[in-house]
Amino acid sequence: MSADNQRACRIDIEDFEGPLDLLLFLIRRDELDVTTIHVAEVADQYLKYIREAEDLNLDVAGEYLVMAATLTRMKSRLLLPVERALMDETEDPMETLMRHLVLYKAFKEVASELRESESIWRDVFAPPGERERYKEEIVESDPGQTSLFDLLLALENMTEKNTPPPRHMIQKPLLSFTECVKVLDKLLSTKTTRDFGDAVGENTDEATVVSFFVVVLELVKRGWLTAEQSYPFADISMKRKEERWEMNA
Amino acid sequence: MLDQLARQIEALLVATESPVTLNRICELTGCGTESAEQAILRIEAELSSGGHAIVIARLAGGYRIVTDPDLGFIVGQLFEGKRHSRLSRASLETLAVIAYRQPATRAQVEAVRGVNSDSAMRTLLERDMIKIAGRQETPGRPLLYGTTSRFLEYFGLSNLEHLPRMDEMENLLKLSAEDIERMASELSEEESDQII
């Protein structure tokens, strides 16, 4: 707004925090008491001010116009004879407005006291040294404040923490070919049919089972053994082929 | 020369990240409330008699050592560009209403101020002066706002009871509670009309 306009208008509407603020200003300027203002007087002053502002093509916010309407209605009520019964029933809007003004005035004063505290405490500084050093690494984020990196970090933490450490397997070495054949030789004495289960024995570890199985396959391939399985996962019956069994070979 | 307890407390007040409460001081040093208070006074006396540039600040419910506000113009230069601007009048008024009447809805704030307070509320939320403190169990379940500890710290208040003129304002709010509610409900009706 130009300086000319300001002078013409005397008061800049942008200096006010709303219609109540403007009303308080007018009341104070005219040295009126907030609690005993005469509605007609205040309404006239207020309307005059709003009209001036509008003449200057200033944007007058809706709230100011609402207040202008309220004041006008109050003034008209005063001018018109009102039935007594009606007056008693409804609350005097002037009284409500005055209470509102008192309330607003109190907050306005408190706000200016806060302003004073603000200017003092803005000039105060605390030693910041330890803030960075012991800052917690995981800061709780407000909703909507999380970035992709936070998510990736969280995922990384989670997978690292929850993955069990790799188990180091110390494997029992597999049985050697000769060892297995020795056992089988003893087991499959002439013409007997024995099960694979008998060869490995009960409660044996995987390594032993695998060793024997590989050896049995090898022997079948060489033709030293015949092996039969009646149905899948059934035990394997083994029989030695006498003519080919070459234990001492 | 300061005694052992006073030295311990002084060290705490320098190193702390946020104001240390009296209880915490007692907990850490193993002394009683009264001796802690006395020790704080001794530190203050020592600081001021030595003409030091630091003072003990009572804020946000606790104590911490800060630079003398008189030297703000010097120290402030270190943080040039990082310091927040002062709050606007609209923000201060809005903050005042929320501080004394918390938890408060936006409609209640606007009822008292008689003017739309949307952008002021947003600024205060952004600057961590107020926070959402739940919802009011009335139609529309409007959000309720309260002040933060950052608010106390910003204004150098040790707690909400140290707000200026607390008693006076409490009485006033009690007297006008009905008015505020009525005006606020009128406001929220208008708003719901706008939405429709």
Taking CB atoms and an 8 Å cutoff, what residues of chain A touch B60? Answer: none
Q: Tell me the C-alpha distance between B57 and A225, whole Å.
A: 95
Residues 6+ apart with CB under 8 A from A100: A20, B112, B114, B176, B179, B183
Of the candidates A108, A117, A127, the beta carbon closest to that of B65 is on: A127
Distance between alpha carbon A224 and the CA centroid of its chain, in Å?
Answer: 71
- The minimum CA-CA distance between A168 and chain B, rounded to whole Å, is 46
Q: Domain extents for chain B?
A: 4-78, 89-195
Q: Quick one: tokens of A57?
A: 């093509």
| Best mutation target, A64, A65, A105, A122, to test chain B (most B CBs within 10 A) | A122
Q: Which residues of A186-211 are buried (b: 16+ CB within 10 A; e: fewer)?
A: eebeeeeebebeebbeeeeeeebeeb
Closest CA in chain A for residue B88: A115
Q: Quick one: tokens of B65?
A: 């050592």
Taking CB atoms and an 8 Å cutoff, what residues of chain A touch B14? Answer: 127
Q: What angle do CA A177, A180, A184 make, to 5 degrees?
A: 135
- Residue B193, pLDDT score: 45
Assess whether the region B4-78 and the region B89-195 belong to the same CATH fold: yes
Average confidence score pLDDT of chain B? 85
Of the candidates B86, B112, B113, the beta carbon closest to that of A118 is on: B86
Least confident of A168-172, A190-194, B88-92, B127-131: A168-172
The answer to whether residue A130 neighbours chain B at the CB level (below 8 Å) is yes
Q: Tell me the C-alpha distance between B103 and A14, whole Å.
A: 29
Where in B41-125 does DSSP place strands (E)?
54-59, 62-67
DSSP A169: P
Interface contact A120-B69, CB threshold 8 A: yes
| ipTM over the 0.85 cut-off | no
CB interface of A with B, residues 93-122, below 8 Å = 96, 99-100, 102-104, 106-108, 110-115, 117-122
Residue B136, judged by CB atoms within 10 A of its CB (0-12, 13-18, 19+), counts as middle
Position A67, amino acid: M
Determine contact, residues B38/B49, Cβ cutoff 8 Å: no
The answer to whether residue B129 neighbours chain A at the CB level (below 8 Å) is no
Confidence of residue A91 (pLDDT cuts 50, 70, 90): low
Interface contact B113-A123, CB threshold 8 A: no
SS3 B53: coil
Q: Domain extents for chain A?
A: 3-121, 177-240
- Residue B40, pLDDT score: 93
Helices B106-113 and B166-195: crossing angle, nearest 10°?
Answer: 110
Interface contact B93-A108, CB threshold 8 A: yes
**Average pLDDT for residues A21-42, to the nearest whole number?**
76
Least confident of A107-111, B59-63, B136-140: B59-63
User: Is the pLDDT at B194 greater than 50, yes or no?
Assistant: no
- What would the CATH number be for the domain defined by B4-78? 1.10.10.10
Interface contact A122-B169, CB threshold 8 A: no
DSSP notation for B124-177: HHHTTSEEEEEE-SSTT--EEEEE-HHHHHHTT-SSGGGSTTHHHHHHHHHHHH
Q: Tell me the C-alpha distance between A212 and B135, whole Å.
A: 74
Q: Tell me the C-alpha distance between A164 and A160, whole Å.
A: 9
Cα torsion angle, A33, A35, A36, A41, sign:
positive
| CATH 1.10.10.580 describes domain A177-240 | yes
Cα separation values, B86 from A102, A127, B31, Å: 26, 22, 40
SS3 A189: coil
Interface contact A102-B73, CB threshold 8 A: no
Q: Quick one: tokens of B136?
A: 């009011």
Determine contact, residues A104/B183, Cβ cutoff 8 Å: no
Taking CB atoms and an 8 Å cutoff, what residues of chain A touch B156? Answer: 117, 120-121, 124
- Residue A5, pLDDT score: 43
pLDDT tens for each residue of B107-132: 999 988 988 888 899 999 988 899 98
Cβ-Cβ contacts under 8 Å between A and B: the total is 130
- The minimum CA-CA distance between A67 and chain B, rounded to whole Å, is 9
Interface contact A19-B163, CB threshold 8 A: no
Quote the pTM value. 0.58
Share of chain B above pLDDT 70, in %: 93
Distance between alpha carbon A196 and the CA centroid of its chain, in Å?
Answer: 61
Query: How many alpha carbons lie under 13 Å from residue B68 in its C-beta half-sphere?
Result: 10
Phi, psi of A226 (to 5 degrees): -115, 140
Q: Tell me the C-alpha distance between A75 and A83, whole Å.
A: 16
The answer to whether residue A20 neighbours chain B at the CB level (below 8 Å) is yes
Q: Quick one: tokens of B79?
A: 């943080």
Name, of A31-35, A101-105, B79-83, the range with top average pLDDT.
A101-105
Determine contact, residues B97/B108, Cβ cutoff 8 Å: yes
- Tokens 């140290």 appear where? B162
Q: Tell me the C-alpha distance between A29 and A44, whole Å.
A: 14
Pick the CATH number of B89-195 from 3.30.70.260, 1.10.150.20, 1.10.10.10, 3.40.50.1000: 1.10.10.10
Determine contact, residues B53/B71, Cβ cutoff 8 Å: yes
Radius of gyration of chain B (CA): 21
Phi, psi of A225 (to 5 degrees): -130, 150
The answer to whether residue B52 neighbours chain A at the CB level (below 8 Å) is no
